[in-house]
Amino acid sequence: MTNLLDLDAAGLAAFLADLGEKPFRAKQVSRWLHQRLVGDFGAMTDLSKSLREKLAAAAQIRGPAVVSDTTAADGTRKWLLDVGGGNAVEMVYIPEDDRGTLCISSQAGCALDCAFCSTGKQGFSRNLATAEIIGQLWHANRALLADGVSAEGRPERELLPLGGKAQGAKGALVTAPWVERGRAPITNVVMMGMGEPLANYDNVLSALTVFLDDNAYGLSRRRVTLSTSGLVPAMDRLRDDCPVALAVSLHAGNDLLRDRLVPINRKYPLAQLLAASLRYLDRAPRDFVTFEYVMLDGVNDSALHARELATLVRDIPCKFNLIPWNPFPGAAFQTSPRARILAFQKALMDAGFVTTIRKTRGEDIDAACGQLAGRVQDRTKRQFRIQPAPASPAIH
Ligand code: SAH
Ligand code: SF4
């Protein structure tokens, strides 16, 4: 059985063509799936009964298997999703006044093994399927709407006209009004959950096209951000295939240190990474790259590091997002003290770079960035592959 959440627009069109249906049916079905967020074919009331029956015989709409669903004191909500084989991934919804952001996972585990990352320490299990990536957005929107949450706090029934109300004057389907007015609970997606999205390129690309598709979630490219640790060839592919907003996990201003923190740097060192970031900007929806920089006590957070960093990226239109490191059991790092993070921020600002410090959200439910895998491991009883602590946290 085909899971319709596994199909992008082209896939859905091909699937319906195989059933002998015209291309416009794919758009109709896509709107039912991703705008009205229905979970069964019976609800697709403007499709003929025979088509609904054909769909039910050949396909299913299978969302994620939710293991747990927890809301933190600050409104951050985290879902743990079972992806089979003893693996689980997480997604996190972060509400703010003017937006609702969903942080999505792309892999179960990650092979890139960054020294400070809990997902990396878990090792790599497998790529998520397209349905498992799209299913995160589909499920989170449904769950939030069911709870009456939207960007404007509107209750579900006002937002999801079904059946007759979904018809235009001549019976044509109209886009659900909450999508037209940007009122879906989730207005922004960040691929910053578990895994390296560019290491699961094809499935992530299909999912991104659905996030952007006007007959699906209709998000603008500026509101979809992909974070990468620096898979240079895939950055170039993404630039050509689907240039969404880009965040690059820099974490160090020289190759010696970055080799240690982000091992993929040994393959694609800083000069290549920065050149690829510049190339990406030709097509990017924003005119800057966001550099993420995790603040590790005594490792990469000195005044010297800040100066080195500022010099390194001086020719690149960029912003910095400093991430206070989130601890997890067995890790050999500590979070930089607040005063040092502020000093680091000031040094970058003085050098002319817009620099924000990431607010830690949802700490009471372990939903903070980089903590995502920790409890999953507890649950699946996988072994940590903790590397020996560096002899001394050298400052390069
Ligand atoms: N694999 C991608 C995206 C997922 S991680 C990447 O590495 O960019 C999202 C961000 O969280 C990355 O910048 C990553 O370096 C950072 N991160 C990982 N572990 C963290 C931790 N324990 N504390 C804070 N940030 C962490
Ligand atoms: Fe993978 Fe990103 Fe974690 Fe590195 S920081 S191990 S690339 S998820």
Mutation test residue for ligand 2: of 104, 110, 264, 267, the one with most atoms within 8 Å of CB: 110
Q: Identify the residue whose tokens are 């002319």.
A: 352
* The dihedral sign for the CA sequence 243, 275, 203, 321: negative
Q: Are 245 and 285 in contact (CB under 8 A)?
A: yes
For the stretch 83-134, pLDDT in tens is 999 999 999 999 988 889 999 999 999 999 999 999 999 899 999 999 999 9
For the stretch 361-375, pLDDT in tens is 776 666 655 455 544
Active site residue 90: yes
Banded pLDDT at 312 (limits 50, 70, 90): very high
Mutation test residue for ligand 1: of 91, 116, 117, 376, the one with most atoms within 8 Å of CB: 117
For the stretch 177-195, pLDDT in tens is 444 444 578 989 999 999 9
Report the nearest-CA residue for atom 4 of ligand 2.
114
pLDDT of residue 40: 92
Report residue 181 as tokens. 């007015």
Q: What is the pTM of this model?
A: 0.88
CA of 374 to the centre of ligand 2 (A): 13
For the stretch 140-167, pLDDT in tens is 999 998 887 755 543 343 444 333 333 3
Q: In this structure, which ligand is nearest to the CA of 334?
A: 1
Closest by CA position to 261, among listed 192, 332, 205, 211: 332
Mean pLDDT, to the nearest integer, of 58-80?
Answer: 94
Q: In this structure, which ligand is nearest to the CA of 250?
A: 1
Report the nearest-CA residue for atom 24 of ligand 1.
325
SS (H, E, C) 81-108: EEEECCEEEEEEEEEECCEEEEECCCEE
Atom nearest to 195 CA in ligand 2:
8
HSE, side-chain direction, 13 A CA sphere, residue 214: 3
Report the nearest-CA residue for atom 2 of ligand 2.
196
**Burial zone of 315 (CB within 10 Å; 0-12 exposed, 13-18 middle, 19+ buried):** exposed
Report the nearest-CA residue for atom 12 of ligand 1.
249
CA of 269 to the centre of ligand 2 (A): 16
pLDDT of residue 97: 81
pLDDT of residue 365: 65
Helix (H, G, I), strand (E, B) or coil at 23: helix
SS (H, E, C) 243-300: CCEEEEECCCCCHHHHHHHCHHHHCCCHHHHHHHHHHHHCCCCCCCEEEEEEEECCCC
CA of 196 to the centre of ligand 2 (A): 6
The pocket around ligand 2, CB under 6 angstroms, is made up of 110, 112-114, 117, 119-120, 195-196, 229, 249
Helices (H), the chain: 9-18, 23-34, 49-58, 118-121, 130-146, 156-159, 177-180, 201-212, 232-241, 255-261, 270-281, 303-312, 338-350, 372-380
Helix (H, G, I), strand (E, B) or coil at 27: helix
Of the listed ranges 182-196, 234-248, 271-285, 291-305, the one predicted with least confidence: 182-196
CA of 231 to the centre of ligand 1 (A): 14
Atom nearest to 117 CA in ligand 2:
3
CA of 114 to the centre of ligand 1 (A): 9
CA of 113 to the centre of ligand 2 (A): 6
The pocket around ligand 1, CB under 6 angstroms, is made up of 114, 116-118, 192, 196, 227-229, 249, 292, 294, 323, 325-326, 369-370
Whether 222 shows a pLDDT value over 90: the answer reads: yes
